[in-house]
Structure 1
Amino acid sequence: MPEALSLLTTRRTIPAIALGAPGPDEEQIRTLLSIAVRVPDHGKLKPWRFVLFEGDAREAAGEKLLALKLAEAGDLDEARQNQERTRFTRAPLVIAVVSTAAPHFKIPEWEQQMSAAAACMNLVLGAHAMGFAAQWLTEWYAYDDKAKALFAIEENERVVGFVHIGTPQEEPVDRPRPDVETVMTRWSPEGAEGTDT
């Protein structure tokens, strides 16, 4: 099997909590981002950008999320506080992929958003190709305007994902995948095969 096909058929999500050091170095990060931007981009709009959380900034980001939750809830038990505090320290590197999609006279916003989603997937595949692993997450702070503001993400921007990248600390376990026959039809002028016409 060609190497590229092997890569695509062996990619597995490793939970962020199971991603440890080492993470990508500066050169590898730049390579990952260069892979991320090699996605379909109708109109060459670059409708995405990236926010990196690494080193001590990861802990600071978690503390800010915790403070935000405490301000909203008034109090949280120790387990919940620790959950918020460690949101960004589960992996050595977290990359937020931000959709900057906006109204355009020709390019639908949906296409721009899909381009950002493709950038997330390219990051995940790029990490796998480099010998790392990744998990693409959103979680509550991807949708919370106050949390987004903490990370200089504008109200009109959307977080497509926080991609956690590191070295797997456990053997990947594959999950059941759908039988492709159950998710496909073949169109014909008489009607799609496998459907009532």
Structure 2
Amino acid sequence: MTSLDLLLSRFSTDALAEPAPAGDVLEAILSTAMRAPDHGKLRPWRYAIVQGEARVKLAERVVASMKRLDPDVAPAKVEKRFSRMSTMPMTIVLGMHLRPENKIPLLEQELAVGAAAMNILNALHATGFGGVWVSGDVAHDPEFAAEMGFPAPHKLAGFLFVGTPTAQAKAPTRRPVDDYVARWTGAPAVFGADA
């Protein structure tokens, strides 16, 4: 498989089981973040790895955040979120170590975090693992972010669920790119996907 074929075959999945990457393999996967585009070389990404018994603690904090944000949150939603957060083989909490006073715009700092996370997802796939990037209301809760080690002005970009894809992990059909590309010739570009 060529490198391009590898990228074209990647897909997100939460159908994950043990094992998650560990040791030198995990270090290499996380090191791909250091190759992300990063205007100003601020390296604004931070990763909190959650495994083992800490998964239940994370799930409890997530549930507390959900109830703080919406006291009337549906019990089924709470149960589903607790189950996912407490059973994934590994969760990588995606932190954004932001520097509002820096000359690099915050948007560019946040985009660098996203690019680094995508490198990690690609590296997971390249090493036989899988993952999915999730967010939700909790990822935007400043109190929860602070509990995870990211007090304001820092934030969360979400969570990567990581593990070994199970038989239920199926790649969706890849859409053709044509509707998302246009040749600019002087007039505003028009895209088929927006029609």
- TM-score bin, normalised by smaller chain: 0.7 to 0.9
**Structure 1: distance between partners of 2:29 and 2:167:** 23
Whether 1:102 aligns to 2:77 is: no
Q: Which of 1 and 2 has greater Rg? A: 1
Which stretches in structure 1 are left out of the alignment for 5+ residues? none
Q: What's 2:17 paired with?
A: 20
Whether 1:5 aligns to 2:4 is: yes
TM-score w.r.t. the length of structure 2 is: 0.85
Question: What is the CA RMSD across the aligned residues, in angstroms?
Answer: 2.4
Q: What's 1:52 paired with?
A: 49
1:12 and 1:172 in contact (8 A); partners too: no
- Counterpart pick for 1:164 among 154, 161, 166: 161
- Could you list the runs of 4 or more consecutive aligned residues of structure 1 that deviate by over 6 angstroms after TM superposition? none
Which stretches in structure 2 are left out of the alignment for 5+ residues? none
Shift of 1:187: 2.0
Distance change (3 Å), C-alpha of 1:147 and 1:194:
closer
**Structure 1: distance between partners of 2:38 and 2:145:** 24
Distance change (3 Å), C-alpha of 1:176 and 1:75:
closer
**Structure 2: distance between partners of 1:150 and 1:53:** 14
TM-score w.r.t. the length of structure 1 is: 0.84
Distance change (3 Å), C-alpha of 1:55 and 1:180:
same
Whether 1:144 aligns to 2:146 is: no
Q: What's 1:73 paired with?
A: 71
Identity %: 30
Whether 1:155 aligns to 2:152 is: yes
